[in-house]
Amino acid sequence: MIVSFNNVRKYYGSWPALEKVDLRLEEGEFVVISGPSGAGKTTLFRHVWMGDLPTTGTVEVVGFSSDGIRSGDLPLLRRKLGIVFQDFRLLPERTVFENVALPLQVTGTPPKAVRRRVFELLADMELSHRRNSFPNELSGGEQQRVAIARAMVAHPVLLLADEPTGNLDPEVSRKVIDLLVGINRAGTAVMLATHDPRQVPAGAARFVYLDGGRIVDPSYWDGYDQL
Amino acid sequence: MIHILQNALREGMLNIRSKLPTFLVTVLMVSLSFMVFDIFLLVSWNLEYALRSEQENVGIEVFLENRVDEAEALRLADLISGMEGVRSVYYVSPREAEAVFRADMPEQADMLELLGPGFHLPASIQVSLLLEYRTAEKVGTIARTISGMEGVADVMYGEEYLPGLTRAVSVLEKLVFLAGLVLAISLSLVVANTVRLAVAHRALTLEIMSIVGAPAWFIRLPFVGEGMVTGIAGSAGSLILTWAVSSMLSSTVPHRFLPGNWILLILALGAFSGAAGSWIGMRSGFRRPRR
Ligand SMILES: Nc1ncnc2c1ncn2[C@@H]1O[C@H](COP(=O)(O)OP(=O)(O)OP(=O)(O)O)[C@@H](O)[C@H]1O
Ligand SMILES: [Mg+2]
């Protein structure tokens, strides 16, 4: 088990963003988290990479527990995760190569090994020709692929993708989802948050529905009306 | 370990390069703030220097009675040179006194002819004192002891201006220290705030660094380094500007530029306030996870 939420509650002031969340994720699994806007998907993800800590309950991720995690452990936890956001969050003043190389450079990987790994990954993602471009010179789909490359470069155990297709048109979105499915087939666990679970092929993933901060039974979920 | 350190330094360079215009404006602002400090130091340094060299001239002139011959005068000089606080003594014979007089005041040389061959300027002993004895009180004590000696006709020292000079030097020293301290503190705050604002634009960099698992020191080092470089470049710029002003004025107002250790002090203050500003600016960008 690489992720485990045990009766997690999260309050922002008196506002409940997560209520009694229990969730487990096995190594190599693909979990899709769906739910309407404000359901708590981003909040749930922030708890996985421990950008937030639960108000009550515990979160355990790749051997680190939210109970008594020290700030010195946070980098060690995050090196085992790859994180992708809806708005890409690439550093605008760096080239594609530099953006993708960052997670390796912060751990002191020798430059030769960094080049080898980044070139290999950019080739896999059909971005080799773009390696010296800056993010603002790329299309949205290309930027998101660069962000995914950055998330995957250090061989994470778990890839977290919070609405990675939110800013992309349907055609490009499908390519990004296919990429995530491929990454999962190659052995990496994936957590994907999306408004629209129909993007993901039914057999490829386990589906979890959030509403008002609670995990709900999908058969009662009427969120499709809101899509 | 080597690679990660290299990368941290490269991060700092990347930060500066990517925001070069911002960096230059920040450096300029730091330079202009520091110039106020530099000019203050320059003025007080020159004032103090002037007063000190005034004090440098403080000594005692011991005039001897006419009946004292050279051998006795030298014995007396020996005696005085053994006294506490005396650095050196110099015996001026009547002949030498006359030569000095003629050289210093050629227009008044006729006066000596007028007084006739029988007249001699009195022999004297010039007493120079150790620096810490050149205060009104201590010079007075030494002078009184000497005036009581056998064969001494008169003793002269700067009785009128010495107390004022002593006071002026000590007041100035305290003033420079206090004003310098206040200026240094306010300056550090200005520089720190300037650098803080420049760093605040890097919130995204801070966030991404922390998300990809960079250790805290790796994230901080480039920022603090950038702050230090900004502070040093700014204070160095201020020194260049001040030096330019100083050399423009040097023909009309003769003065000396700041000594080396004061320059180092200014650069160190720049480095410190820049680093502090980065540190503060970065803390507002760092969000610790909360429960
Ligand atoms: N830092 C915060 N402070 C206060 N309230 C917050 C904070 N972050 C989230 N919330 C609230 O918590 C609830 C869940 O937000 P969250 O961002 O997790 O939803 P989401 O499912 O990701 O929505 P979306 O699909 O729009 O991204 C919302 O009501 C939101 O307003
Ligand atoms: Mg969200």
Tell me, what's the ipTM?
0.89
pLDDT for res A222: 58
* Cα–Cα distance, B265 to B41 (Å, whole number): 11
A40 lines ligand 1 (CB under 6 A): yes
**Among candidate residues A168, A85, A93, A173, the one with its CA nearest the CA of residue A133:** A93
pLDDT for res A220: 62
Query: Is residue B160 one of the residues assigned to a domain?
Result: no
For residues A39, A43, A48, A52, the Cα torsion angle rounded to the nearest 10 degrees is -160
The verdict on B99 and B66 lying in the same domain is yes
* Cα–Cα distance, B146 to B80 (Å, whole number): 7
Average pLDDT rounded to a whole number, residues B216-231: 86
Single-letter code of the amino acid located at B119: F
The verdict on B208 and B246 lying in the same domain is yes
pLDDT band at B175 (very low <50, low <70, confident <90, very high): confident
Minimal-distance CA residue to ligand 1 atom 26:
A37
Residue by residue, DSSP assigns B142-162 as HHHHHHTSTTEEEEE--TTTH
What's the Cα-to-Cα distance from A184 to each of A172, A178, A188, B88, rounded to whole Å?
Answer: 19, 10, 5, 92
Q: Is the Cα torsion angle A48, A53, A57, A58 positive or negative in sign?
A: positive
Q: Is the pTM of this model over 0.90?
A: no
Helix, strand, coil tally for chain A in percent (to 5): 35, 25, 35
Beta strands in chain B (DSSP E): 59-64, 86-92, 124-129, 152-156
A37 lines ligand 1 (CB under 6 A): yes
Phi, psi of A207 (to 5 degrees): -110, 130
Q: Which ligand is nearest to the CA of A162?
A: 2
| CB proximity list for B191: less than 8 A, separation 6 or greater | B30, B33, B34, B231, B234, B270, B273, B274, B277
Q: Is residue A226's pLDDT more than 60?
A: no
* Cα–Cα distance, B128 to B58 (Å, whole number): 7
Q: Is residue B250's pLDDT more than 80?
A: yes
Query: Is residue B215 one of the residues assigned to a domain?
Result: yes
Q: What is the largest CA-CA distance in chain B?
A: 105
Per residue in A61-103, pLDDT tens?
A: 999 999 989 989 999 999 999 999 999 999 998 999 999 999 9
pLDDT for res B70: 84
Q: Is residue B234's pLDDT more than 60?
A: yes
Domain ranges, ordered by start, for chain A: 1-80+156-227, 90-155
* Cα–Cα distance, B120 to B115 (Å, whole number): 9
* Cα–Cα distance, B234 to B147 (Å, whole number): 58
* Cα–Cα distance, A12 to A73 (Å, whole number): 24
Per residue in A114-141, pLDDT tens?
A: 999 999 999 999 999 999 999 999 999 9
Between these two residues, B112 and B155, which has the higher pLDDT value? B155
Task: Decide: A153 and A117 in contact? Cβ < 8 Å.
Answer: yes
| CB proximity list for A204: less than 8 A, separation 6 or greater | A30, A181, A184
Distance spanning both ends of chain B, measured CA to CA:
34
Q: If you measure CA to CA, which chain A residue comes closest to B1? A: A108
Query: Is residue B220 one of the residues assigned to a domain?
Result: yes
The verdict on B33 and B170 lying in the same domain is yes
**Among candidate residues B35, B34, B15, B11, the one with its CA nearest the CA of residue B23:** B15
Measured at the alpha carbon of residue B18, what is the angle toward residues B16 and B19, in degrees to the nearest 5? 65
Q: Is residue B18's pLDDT more than 80?
A: no
Instruction: Determine which of A48-52, B58-62, B114-118 has the lowest per-residue pLDDT on average.
Output: B114-118
* Arithmetic mean of pLDDT over chain B: 83
Written as six digits, the tokens of B225 are 């380094």
Residue B139: which CATH number?
3.30.70.3040
Between these two residues, B269 and B291, which has the higher pLDDT value? B269
Q: What residues make up the domain containing B151? A: 59-155
Are B209 and A54 inside 8 Å of each other by CB? no
| CB proximity list for A22: less than 8 A, separation 6 or greater | A5, A6, A7, A8, A215
pLDDT band at B14 (very low <50, low <70, confident <90, very high): confident
The verdict on B236 and B267 lying in the same domain is yes
Written as six digits, the tokens of B14 are 């990347």
* Cα–Cα distance, B284 to B74 (Å, whole number): 76
Single-letter code of the amino acid located at B137: E
Q: Is residue A224's pLDDT more than 60?
A: no
Task: Decide: B163 and B136 in contact? Cβ < 8 Å.
Answer: yes
Written as six digits, the tokens of A10 are 């999260």
Q: Please tell us whether the domain made up of A1-80+156-227 is placed in CATH 3.40.50.300.
A: yes
* Cα–Cα distance, B238 to A127 (Å, whole number): 47
Number of structural domains in chain B: 2
From B155, B188, B215, give the residue that closes a domain: B155
pLDDT band at B160 (very low <50, low <70, confident <90, very high): low
* Residue from A11, A21, A37, A42 to probe ligand 1 pocket by mutation (most atoms less than 8 Å from CB): A42
A41 lines ligand 1 (CB under 6 A): yes
A17 lines ligand 1 (CB under 6 A): yes
Per residue in A181-212, pLDDT tens?
A: 999 999 999 999 998 888 998 888 999 999 99
Per residue in B28-46, pLDDT tens?
A: 988 998 898 898 888 888 8
Between these two residues, A142 and B148, which has the higher pLDDT value? A142
* Cα–Cα distance, B165 to B50 (Å, whole number): 11
Per residue in B199-209, pLDDT tens?
A: 677 788 888 99
Closest-CA distance, B230 to chain A, in angstroms, reads 20
* Cα–Cα distance, A154 to B287 (Å, whole number): 24
* Cα–Cα distance, B204 to B200 (Å, whole number): 9
* Cα–Cα distance, B148 to A174 (Å, whole number): 110
Are A74 and B289 inside 8 Å of each other by CB? yes
Query: Is residue B234 one of the residues assigned to a domain?
Result: yes
Per residue in A157-184, pLDDT tens?
A: 999 999 999 999 999 999 999 999 999 9
pLDDT band at B279 (very low <50, low <70, confident <90, very high): confident
* Cα–Cα distance, A11 to A54 (Å, whole number): 8
The verdict on B71 and B126 lying in the same domain is yes
pLDDT for res B255: 85
Minimal-distance CA residue to ligand 1 atom 16:
A40
Query: Is residue B207 one of the residues assigned to a domain?
Result: yes
The verdict on B151 and B173 lying in the same domain is no
Query: Is residue B290 one of the residues assigned to a domain?
Result: no
Q: Which of B22, B211, B286 to probe by mutation at the A interface, max A CB count within 10 Å?
A: B211
